[in-house]
Structure 1
């Protein structure tokens, strides 16, 4: 087994940063259940959620994300989580491409990914 300097090991791994999104109580609960069941870290789960959204056709993403209507956050729950900076960059790009915002991208990705969780195991 070869030894590597700690600095080189640390530089190979992306450090997650804190972030927040406001979701309806039902969606927030579905997301929590999904991540608990997945046994993944928050950054991994968020990355998979964005990847799932990216698998949708360009037209479908435009329909989901374009021209979001500002809504009240009253009655919504703030969900704090950790996310990789590279995933944040993907979210920014998706928002820009679809005339949307990061919150809309995250909320749709979270909802879709939570719904796809197999809770039978």
Structure 2
């Protein structure tokens, strides 16, 4: 990756009012050097680390460190691939701001999403507690 060119592209997006996210943090091409090189707003913790929450595996220590680092840097955090209430509780206890995954909904088409959002955000009917 050309760091100078990328820094310019990120600056242009930021100037246009767009927040900057690092997706799949901790895997692939994302690295700690990006946190030093680029001005970012949000770290998205890769699903592979969310999967190991509350398990006794070698990688189960990674998510807490990513979360602590993001907090220390003043970044918001998104956990990817959340599938259980246990994961949600664990993430909330550690101050993770957002989560995405099948716990909330399976992948869907744009039209299905629009209908789902209409149902989820439909105005609630007022209920009178007065007795007649």
Instruction: Please confirm whether the aligned pair reaches a TM-score higher than 0.5, indicating the same fold.
Output: no
Which of structures 1 and 2 has the bigger CA Rg?
2
| Structure with more of its chain in helix, by fraction | 1
Q: TM-score, normalised by structure 2?
A: 0.24
Q: TM-score, normalised by structure 1?
A: 0.26
- Greater RCO, 1 or 2 (C-alpha within 8 Å, sep 6+): 1
